[in-house]
Homo-oligomer: A and B are copies of this chain.
Amino acid sequence: MRDAYHEELDSIGDSLVEMARLAGSAIGRATTAILDSDLKLAESVIEADQKVDELQHDLEARAIALLARQQPVATDLRIVVTSLRMSADLERSGDLAQHVAKLARLRFPQRAVPQDLHATILEMGQLAQRLMAKAAEVIITKDVDLAMQLEQDDDEIDQLHRTLFQHLIDDRWKHGIETAVDVTLLGRYYERYADHAVAVAKRVVYLVTGEHADELQADIKPVTGVEGA
């Protein structure tokens, strides 16, 4: 019995890694799509999100079946419950990548991102993708030090997010309101995406150490200004 159990548990872990891989690829491609105004690429990202959703449904069904059949306790139980939560984070990350792609599609053939913010958005997209790659690695390796690194990367995203807002409220902003709205939402999507990647890593830390990396306040951050959370 225990062997079947561990096989099932491994396969749930594999699904989580696959979800992270897809969500990471999605945010990378969505960023390219919005910067290049590439409609085809945007549509492929929008479509591909279905695969992440399917993986989540499937994972959920298997996790519940595993709870019912094997009735794990203690750490094993915690792993299954935590996997359910991680899959929700990853599913949501996929949605956020899809939101970026939808914005690219909505503005096509225009570009949603003005040239002087191109570098900032590119960097946010790359960081987000890297965060998710590291989150996948943390799931595989259970490396607590690597998990802690994600918080630093997340600080970088927050810094870029602030840069974005400074651009927006600068008197010299000349791109009009619609673009300001787009950029505001984009910044929010990347920030939330990063939060979910960090949350995944933190949940692994909790499984390994039994301690919350912190009180998971990552998503209660200041959004529009320097002023505090």
Query: Which of the candidate stretches A98-106, A115-123, A137-145, A152-160 sits at the interface with the other chain?
Result: A98-106
A165 proximity list for chain B (CB < 8 A): 181
Q: Which residues of B contact A222 (CB under 8 A)?
A: 102, 106
For residue A184, which residues in chain B have a CB less than 8 angstroms away from its CB?
180-181, 184-185
A99 to B73, CA, bound (A): 37
Distance of A184 Cα from B223 Cα, bound (Å): 12
Contacts of A188 in B (CB 8 A): 185, 188
Residues of B within 8 A of A92 (CB): 219
Bound together, the chains give a CA A182 to CA B188 distance in angstroms of 12
Does A149 touch B at the CB level, under 8 Å?
Answer: no
* Residues A73 and B77 in contact, CB atoms below 8 Å apart: no
Question: In the assembled complex, how far is the CB of residue A80 from the closest CB belonging to chain B, in whole angstroms?
Answer: 9
B-contact 0/1 string along A189-229, CB 8 Å cutoff: 00000000000000000000000000100011011110101
Asked if A178 contacts B169 (CB within 8 A), the reply is yes
Answer yes or no: A85 CB below 8 A from chain B CBs. yes
How far is B134's CA from A202's CA once the two chains are assembled, in angstroms?
Answer: 33
Q: How far is the CA of A81 from the CA of B64 in the complex (A)?
A: 8
Residues of A within 8 A of B (CB): 49, 53, 63-64, 67-68, 71, 73-74, 77-78, 81, 84-85, 88, 92, 95, 98-99, 102-103, 105-106, 165, 168-169, 173, 177-178, 180-182, 184-185, 188, 215, 219-220, 222-225, 227, 229
14 residue pairs A–B, Cβ–Cβ below 8 Å: A63-B81, A64-B77, A64-B78, A64-B81, A67-B77, A67-B81, A68-B73, A68-B77, A84-B84, A168-B177, A173-B177, A181-B181, A181-B184, A185-B188
